[in-house]
């Protein structure tokens, strides 16, 4: 899986994998540790994100490299299970989840790949961030490492308890909006994704999450294989 797609699947799993905060809060014991409080607060912010639309700048730093690979594009999420990740520079690509299938369209290659959405997301470590704070705590060591009430700024650090694709994930939240992800992977690579022009919980057209392959392109449908591998 390429690094771009890895981040997309991880971040989308993070944002669309929660039930309502009211359900989560009911599951948390009255006496809670700081770790539980931090996880509960993060889950509240994520579960309150019903739709998310933003431009993004992604910078990937390879090991032993000071110059990043920069990608620009647009990112949309509609809970549950719909998202669209579109890159504009330096290449064009669209990754669209319609609730059942994950479509990866590469205009330059004149090719679209169709995958089973549930099976692909099942391979994501961040899908362990499911409905409850308890499960979040089983999957990650969650810490709020920075808080500035005046600037309405919180920084969270998530360290996987079990080994996975990433060693750590930092999430910067300003005014209840996710504004930046910073990921450190197990190969020494660093990925920073900064969001701008953020629109939170505004109505999105379902057409954003529907992909119809243009005529004349190659269609690679691996959904049956994905399901077999998942089982």
Other Cβ atoms less than 10 A from the Cβ of 99: the count is: 15
pLDDT greater than 50 at residue 118: yes
Residue 218's contacts (CB-CB under 8 Å, 6 or more residues apart) are 109, 110, 111, 112
Count, residues in the chain: 231
- Specify the fold of 3-230: outer membrane lipoprotein receptor (LolB), chain A (2.50.20)
Is 103 within 8 Å of 113 (Cβ atoms)?
A: yes
| Residue ranges per structural domain of the chain | 3-230
Other Cβ atoms less than 10 A from the Cβ of 72: the count is: 13
Q: Higher confidence at residue 27 or residue 201?
A: 201
Is 6 within 8 Å of 127 (Cβ atoms)?
A: no
Closest by CA to 73, choosing from 82, 85, 61, is 85
- Which run of H or E residues covers position 4? helix 3-16
Residue 222 in tokens: 């691996």
Please tell me whether the overall predicted TM-score, pTM, comes out greater than 0.95 for this model.
no
Euclidean distance between the first and the last CA atom of the chain, given in angstroms as a whole number: 19
Q: Higher confidence at residue 45 or residue 53?
A: 53
Per-residue confidence (pLDDT) for residue 129, from 0 to 100: 36
Distance CA 194, CA 172 (A): 9
Only one residue has tokens 């994905």, namely 226
Q: What's the pLDDT band for 19 if we cut at 50, 70, 90? A: very low
Q: What's the pLDDT band for 117 if we cut at 50, 70, 90? A: confident
Distance CA 174, CA 177 (A): 5
Distance CA 21, CA 48 (A): 7
pLDDT digits (tens, 9 = 90+) for 141-199: 888 988 888 888 999 998 888 777 778 888 899 998 889 988 888 888 888 889 999 99
Average pLDDT along the chain:
79
């Amino acid at each position: 899986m390429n690094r771009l797609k890895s981040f997309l699947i991880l971040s989308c799993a993070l944002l669309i994998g929660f039930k309502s905060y009211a359900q989560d809060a009911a599951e948390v014991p009255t006496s809670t540790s700081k770790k539980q409080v931090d996880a509960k607060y993060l889950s509240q912010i994520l579960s309150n994100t019903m739709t998310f639309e933003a431009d993004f700048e992604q910078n990937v730093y390879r090991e032993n490299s000071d110059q990043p690979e920069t990608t620009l594009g647009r990112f949309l999420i509609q809970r549950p299970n719909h998202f669209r990740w579109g890159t504009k520079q330096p290449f064009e690509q669209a990754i669209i989840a319609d609730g059942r299938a994950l479509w990866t369209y590469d205009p330059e290659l004149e090719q679209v790949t169709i995958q089973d959405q549930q099976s692909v997301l099942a391979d994501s470590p961040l899908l362990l961030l499911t409905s409850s704070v308890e499960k979040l705590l089983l999957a990650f060591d969650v810490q709020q490492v920075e808080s500035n009430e005046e600037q309405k700024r919180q920084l969270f650090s998530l360290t996987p308890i079990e080994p996975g694709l990433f060693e750590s994930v930092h999430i910067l939240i300003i005014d209840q909006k996710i504004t930046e992800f910073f990921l450190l992977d197990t190969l020494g690579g660093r990925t920073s994704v900064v969001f701008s022009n953020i629109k939170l919980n505004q109505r999105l057209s379902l057409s954003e999450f529907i992909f119809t392959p243009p005529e004349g392109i190659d269609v690679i449908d691996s959904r049956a294989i994905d399901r077999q591998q998942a089982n």
